[in-house]
Every structure is written in structure tokens, then in C-alpha cells.
Amino acid sequence: MKFQKSLFFLLIFILSSSSISANEIEVGIDEKLGNYIPMDAVFQTSKGDTVSLKDIIDKPFLLALVYYECPGICSPLLTELSWVVDKVQLEPLQDFNVITISFDPRETPEIAEKWKRNYFNSIRRNFPDEAWTFLTGDSLNISKVTEAVGFYYKPTQDDFLHAGA
């Protein structure tokens, strides 16, 4: 069991290992060890319910910052994440949860639900719906979270430049 937990946290480390100095960063990840996520940040679930992070974070969780309609790295990242949660020897809802937040404020709960179903369809094990929360939100709440965790992205005309984590 300790090996599986170590493997799970190794995955988290690998996904977040592209750290760049805060002085140079425009797009990328600046590791913020010891920082706290703003638990008062408010989002909409894929079902359209409004929740604050304190409402849904009650155990260790894996955070994926993506945008659902991304033509690049976000889809493969979530595909691999669904593969990992399918294989890990930890119990969802009991040992961990997964939270995916779109950093595109234009995305809606309907878009989040479409992609949630897509990734859930690839999971073979019993994985409760409430163990993986897909969220959308406004730019203020998205920025609160991305700043706190050191995730920096840059909007382009129709897209975003961003790292994968």
C-alpha cells in the first residue's frame, strides 16, 4: 500500500516538475511548496452547482488545471490521469479525490460535464462520480487558485499558452 501511495505522489511530482524561476515566468509552473489553496474560491460543478473549494476538499486530492476544449496537452493529460486513477491501489472517496479546474472562464458546466463523461467512460474500476469533480469558474476565482499553486498561463487570440500539470 505504501508503494502505491508513493507511486501516486511520484506521478503528482512528475506532472508538476517543469518549474521555472518566478522572476522569469510568464507561462509555466513555479513550485509554491507550503502555500495554501484559497478554500473560499467558488466554482460551478459539471452539474451546475455552485461550490467553494472548502465544500469539496476534505481529503488528499489531485488537482488538474486544464481547459476542457484545449487542442493540445490538456486532453492527453486527463487521459493519462484517468488511466492512473483506474490503476492506483487507493480507494477514491476514501483515500483521495480528483479535482479538475478549467482555467478558461468562457467554459461552462455543460462543457465540463461532456468531458467528465468522456474520461469516466475510460475508467474500468468502480469510481464514484463524486470522487472526480470537474469545475468551471470566473476569472477572479480561477486566478486565486492558479496564483496560489504557481500555475501561469497566457491567453492568446482563441487559445492559451500553458504548461501541463
> Can you give the residue ranges of every domain in the chain?
38-160
Going by pLDDT thresholds of 50, 70 and 90, the confidence category of residue 22 is very low
Over the stretch 141-162, which tens digit does the pLDDT of each residue have? 999 999 999 999 888 888 887 8
- State the cell numbers at 139: 476569472
Q: How far is CA 75 from CA 4, 32, 137, in A?
A: 25, 25, 19
Average pLDDT, the chain: 86
Distance of alpha carbon 62 from alpha carbon 156, whole angstroms: 27
Report pTM.
0.82
> Bridge partners of 44?
50, 136
**Is pLDDT of 23 > 80?**
no
38-160 is classed in which CATH architecture?
A: 3-Layer(aba) Sandwich (3.40)
Rounded to 5°, the CA angle 73-76-80 comes to 135
What is the rounded average pLDDT of the residues 38-57?
97
Task: Match 466554482 to its residue by C-alpha cell.
Answer: 43
